[in-house]
Amino acid sequence: MSENILFRMGFFSAFYAVCFIGMYFYGRKGSPLLAPVLCAGLWLFFTVATYFVSGAAMSCFALLTVLFLLFMLKPPPDNSLQIFFNENKIYKSEKMPKAVLDVLGDRKWLLAESKLFIRSNEYVNYLFWQGHTTSSIYNGKHSTTNYRYYLAFIFEPNTVSENFKKKAEALMEKSHYTFKEKWKYFFTLDTEKPFLVQTAEDGAFIIAFDTFRDAKVYAKNLAWMKANIETAPKNNQRTATYIPSWQSRASS
């Protein structure tokens, strides 16, 4: 085998590797078993074929194959959020208590509600709000819109214990972060620590996070609620402020 053939095969083998490694990362979510086998097999096929056929011709064929794989290995629609809502029985709500809105502000909230079960016959109602704000950056030629997302857990007035509130307040604390963690969250969003923990005027308890629209992030925040939730003493629940604040949707 001449040096020219070896060089040609090595050059085009590297080109095919770039093409099919890219296709593997594109297709592994939709076809986790097929993608690695198919991409490795195609890389080997095109590399060997370059020994018999012009590298340029095989490269064109490889690019056509990549275009075909774009459709064949297309990732499925991401319905992870809908699965998360269904599994946790989080449903659309019309409740928008004014006292809560006064604390959280207008962040184009999507309203939902659910229950947190402490035991099979004991639960706490809570609102699950997703919101966002936008800001624009103008660089002299173009304007770019940035989105910031929020997630708020809002517990009905006087239904959670003081101990749970203290746990939530402690969760906000960042003084124990190591230098590595501080450096990390200087560049990325900290979705594990709430930016707001507050009791509203009507007695509702609010825990709000910066977030991404991502089921795994939501699940992690909800898991903390499930692990730490405690109810208030029965004689403190369902106070006079409860009914007028939460029975109907208040205007902003």
143: three-class secondary structure by DSSP: strand
* Exposed/middle/buried for residue 67 (C-beta within 10 Å: 0-12, 13-18, 19+): exposed
Q: pLDDT (tens digit, 9 = 90+) per residue, 174-190?
A: 777 777 777 877 777 88
Assign 104 a pLDDT band (cuts: 50, 70, 90): very high
- Over residues 129-134, the mean pLDDT reads 94
Q: What is the DSSP letter of 188?
A: S
Strands 122-138 and 91-92: unpaired
119: three-class secondary structure by DSSP: strand
CA-to-CA separations, 65 to 24, 71, 75, in angstroms, rounded? 13, 10, 17
- Over residues 35-52, the mean pLDDT reads 85
Tokens of 193: 């620590």
Cα gap 74→23, rounded to integer Å? 10
Max Cα–Cα distance, the chain, nearest Å:
91
CA-to-CA separations, 200 to 17, 38, 207, 246, in angstroms, rounded? 58, 57, 11, 12
Cα gap 112→195, rounded to integer Å? 20
pLDDT at 116 over 60: yes
Please state the domain extents for the chain.
3-72, 80-246
What percentage of the chain exceeds 70 in pLDDT?
A: 88
Pick 120 or 127 by higher pLDDT. 127
- The model carries a pTM of 0.67
Contact 70, 118 (CB under 8 A): no
| Mean pLDDT lowest among 27-31, 67-71, 150-154 | 27-31
Residue 150 pairs with which residues in a beta bridge? 131, 210
Residue 123 pairs with which residues in a beta bridge? 117
Cα gap 43→11, rounded to integer Å? 13
| Mean pLDDT lowest among 19-23, 101-105, 165-169 | 19-23
For the chain, list the strands marked E by DSSP: 91-92, 110-119, 122-138, 143-155, 194-199, 205-211
- Residue whose entry in the numeric block shows the structure tokens 């020994």: 51
Tokens of 16: 């095919």
